[in-house]
Amino acid sequence: MRMVDIIEKKRDGHALSEQEIHFFVDGYSKGEIPDYQASALAMAILFRGMEKQEIAHLTEAMMHSGDVIDLSSISGVKVDKHSTGGVGDKTSLVLGPLVSACGAKLAKMSGRGLGHTGGTLDKMESVPGTTVSLTEERFIHQVNDIGIAIMGQTACIDPADKKLYALRDVTGTVESIPLIASSIMSKKLASGADTILLDVKFGSGAFMKTLESAKELATTMVGIGDSLHRDTRAILTDMDEPLGLAVGNALEVKEAIATLQGKGPKDLVDLVTIAGGIMLEQAKLAQTREEGEKRIQEAIASGAGFEKLKQLFASQGGDISYLDHPEKFPLAKRQVEIISDRDGFVTHIDSLAIGVSSMQLGGGRATLDDAIDMSAGILLHKKVGDKVERGDVLAVCHTNKEGCEEVFANVKNAFNLSDEEVATRCIVHDYVC
């Protein structure tokens, strides 16, 4: 078998066989296939696409390129969720404890933030003492013990994806839905959970800009999961404005705490309620999604979700006094108010601009080696649909940097105002199962 023949076959629009796909993934993972041939195949896939069975074979080959976590020693149904990335997305820190408090076993591997999107691991590390580097044995023991653990992906999980993802980033092949879907699902499947809920975001702050493209990606990923015998479902959620009010690591942790104490912003509460209801149905802890949603609401009202959050951090070394007393989180030296210079109604908030601005204030990283200022970020005071009067505070920028006037201007420009009142947008637009 020759790699050039595989490239030409896909270039000409033909489906690749399971053997050809495994030959490519195995050879590229071992360094036997050079980058220039891998990039040629990726470009051919971008233009020609892949059939459902091809994508499933590619996902399975990537999944088995490294370790596959065996969670069979954890009792009960193991649930997981994945977000395609957004701005202000602290969902895992709210949703995870809630479904765990309702009896589900959440064994989750998460990532770090890069660019305008935040990462769950960075948010967790804003609580002093917290470790996200767990051994597989400790990870499994913790899920059995308290029903939840969140850790970083190990180096041995899906090495094929690491190589191919880096290559796609520099060869203009990131936008291929078969490659996006296989990248996400190979990691999720290698993590060992029985069920997966995908939160596929669309809008200005998401990778998928339209509802139609997000639905295509969601449908592809659900198909992959189903073909590999995992209960996989997806919700399509709005990222045309940041999720909640807080953007930035410590700021988002404080909002997660408030949400679990019954004081969260409506869009975040709605999202975790719907997602949690689905996950409890997947775990067979609720007969219907609606029954699951009711249990999630009860876990917020009773404080059970917040207690589970404290258990999570305590088990991973975190100082839970910060959860009981969020005022202990250090504040940035500069807190600059962004003031509206006109009356009107907020019609749109550019999530991408807010996410990039938060990164530039110190709350994110442009490269994986950048350090993060955990106190930096942006706290929104207005959301889409809100009435604004001249002189009102639109947002507050938190930073320890000087000379950020251009960033402050970008935050102000991210808010679009109109004289006409607009309706608030629902957070979940569709459900794929």
Residues 263-274: what's their mean pLDDT?
A: 97
Q: Is residue 100 annotated as a catalytic residue, yes or no?
A: no
Tell me what pLDDT residue 181 has.
94
Q: What is the pLDDT of residues 68-112, one digit of tens each?
A: 989 999 999 999 999 988 899 999 999 999 999 999 999 998 876
Among the listed residues 64, 90, 123, 187, the single catalytic one is: 187
Task: Yes or no: say if 390 and 138 are a contact pair by the CB < 8 Å rule.
Answer: no
- Return the minimum-mean-pLDDT range out of 166-180, 311-325, 363-377: 363-377
Catalytic site residue from 168, 233, 308, 382: 168
pLDDT at 321 over 80: yes
Task: Select the more confidently predicted residue: 382 or 170.
Answer: 382
How high is the pLDDT of residue 206? 85
The mean pLDDT value of the chain amounts to 94
Who's near 264: CB < 8 A, 6+ residues apart?
94, 244, 255, 258
166-193 pLDDT per residue, tens: 898 789 898 899 999 999 999 899 989 9
For residue 367, pLDDT over 80 is answered with no
Residue 166 is predicted with a pLDDT of 83
pLDDT band at 332 (very low <50, low <70, confident <90, very high): very high
Cα gap 377→399, rounded to integer Å: 7
Confidence (pLDDT) at 118: 66
Per-residue pLDDT at 115 exceeds 60: no
Catalytic residue, chosen from 65, 126, 183, 340, is 183
Q: What is the mean pLDDT of residues 252-279?
A: 98
Is 82 noted as a catalytic residue in this protein? Answer: yes
pLDDT exceeds 70 at position 368: no
**Neighbour-count burial of 140, counting CB atoms closer than 10 A to its CB (0-12 exposed, 13-18 middle, 19+ buried):** buried
Judge residue 212's burial from the number of C-beta atoms within 10 Å of its C-beta, 0-12 exposed, 13-18 middle, 19 or more buried.
Answer: exposed
Give the pLDDT confidence score for residue 110 in this predicted structure.
83
Catalytic residue among 80, 89, 122, 161: 161
Selecting among 22, 57, 78, 82, the annotated active-site residue is 82
Mean pLDDT of 234-262: 96
35 tagged catalytic: no
| pLDDT tens per residue, range 136-163 | 899 999 999 999 999 987 778 889 998 9
- What is the model's pLDDT at position 361? 95
Report, as an integer, the average pLDDT of 376-382: 97
Q: Identify whether 161 is a catalytic site residue.
A: yes
pLDDT at 116 over 90: no
CB of 195 within 8 A of CB of 77? Answer: yes
Does residue 62 have a pLDDT over 70? yes
**Catalytic site residue 382?**
no
Say whether pLDDT at 422 is over 70.
Answer: yes
